[in-house]
Chains A and B, each alone.
Chain A
């Protein structure tokens, strides 16, 4: 079973067992990982699930679609090259490492 590692802004790491096919956002919300809100449930409406993706698996998680790309320009914590909306990050067979930003909208 793959795991998602969420690094909090203070450096603490929360590891959560995940199911392939679930999103990084839903996995966080269902397990009460703080800092990932996901208020719209993953319908690309709120951008409250912004995360920074570890360089190691940026390629396997694809690139942002047009709406996601534009929305990333409006996140509460500044956008970086590694920024993604975690509702769009679908977990595969391998582990995923992300960092939670200090602020969500």
Chain B
């Protein structure tokens, strides 16, 4: 691959934008074209479930780059068009066509197609008052409906669902979360952290019902009126469905690329043909942590992963073959509770609660005696220390982690200077 390649990036979310911007930052000389389906300039998604819904942040405040940035960096930004067809040439080159008839030739194709929210597959699940949240347009609809909503039912106790639940409760709605599993955040945090957050939501007036089986969304004139479960009906004038997102792999599949719950990529962000790149939410990759076993595959949906994975793809395009290693991190503001996660937990890891102040919650996960992940609520400084320690591959034995006399910040400082010396 070379600095003169014309690069086409399909998808103008965080990962796609990052690829385009980093290419120019690194002095890439070829054409860079970024094609996004949405008609609006690239924006940040995390505030869509929080500040944007409450009205404290307007759409303008979400822009990832200023309007004149793209021209100044000579990045071709195509908005409101979907790439529907790609014809391959040799060595990774080809031609893409959009649904509006535009053709873009490329030497190198980058798929940053993201994911799409799963829908509720029950009668009434597609009614007007049943919403999902992924795009700015989704968030606009949700915000408008929230203004008038009194009874909000959130289907799914995952990150998006709980963030919206907290926001809706703060706006004065009566909120019930219906979670199919035995607890909230079942796939993403440990039992201890889930309990801590459930208590937080409860204290803020959000009711959580677990093991909920939804049978139907009862509608009247197209509007939601109630959600019917096997345990009875829950009144609702707004239903937000947050039951995960499916990676958008259609274009990859049409190119014959291997997909398996996402576009399968190697440690250089290369898809199975060895020339097409794929980044961010749409991809599946080997656990990138220093403690990964090389076999476990993960699909990571986070700003951090989008940014870091994009950096790996850009290095590959520029001909520097640095494999993708990272200690992923993630945050979710659920009302006033700031949840932060670093590393990737696996079944069998030993959970240890670190004694911390009221409202704070710090739990670490050890594998073979080594700290490999942590979950923190309400203690961003301690989180940063843990992120630094994990990034520096500092082992932090269980007894050290559990000792409140040990200042993690101090430990992080030592680990950082040790890393600098080691360089």
- A contact residues vs B (CB 8 Å cutoff): 22, 26, 29-32, 34, 39-41, 43-47, 67, 70-71, 73-74, 76, 105
**Are B381 and A105 interface neighbours, CB within 8 A?**
no
**Are A74 and B388 interface neighbours, CB within 8 A?**
yes
Which 10 pairs of residues, A with B, have the shortest CB-CB distance?
A70-B381, A74-B384, A45-B331, A30-B66, A71-B381, A41-B44, A30-B65, A67-B380, A73-B409, A74-B385
Contact with A along B56-76 (1 / 0, CB 8 A): 000001011110010001000
- B contact residues vs A (CB 8 Å cutoff): 21, 25, 44, 46-47, 61, 63-66, 69, 73, 303-304, 307, 329, 331, 333, 338, 340, 380-381, 383-385, 387-388, 391, 409, 412, 416
**Are B44 and A39 interface neighbours, CB within 8 A?**
no
How close is B260's CB to chain A, nearest CB, in angstroms? Answer: 28
**Are B416 and A45 interface neighbours, CB within 8 A?**
no
How close is A6's CB to chain B, nearest CB, in angstroms? Answer: 15
Please indicate which of the listed interface residues A67, A70, A74 has the most CB atoms of chain B within 10 Å of its own CB: A74
Contact A71/B303 with A41-B44, A105-B387 known, Cβ cut-off 8 Å: no
Contact A32/B25 with A43-B331, A74-B409, A76-B416 known, Cβ cut-off 8 Å: yes
Give B330's nearest chain A residue, CB to CB. Answer: A45
**Are A30 and B69 interface neighbours, CB within 8 A?**
yes
**Are B333 and A34 interface neighbours, CB within 8 A?**
no
A39–B14 Cα distance when bound, in Å, is 10
Q: Which chain A residues lie closer than 8 Å to B69 at the CB level?
A: 30-32
**Are A71 and B380 interface neighbours, CB within 8 A?**
yes
A71–B338 Cα distance when bound, in Å, is 14
How close is B20's CB to chain A, nearest CB, in angstroms? Answer: 11
Contact A43/B46 with A67-B381, A71-B384 known, Cβ cut-off 8 Å: yes
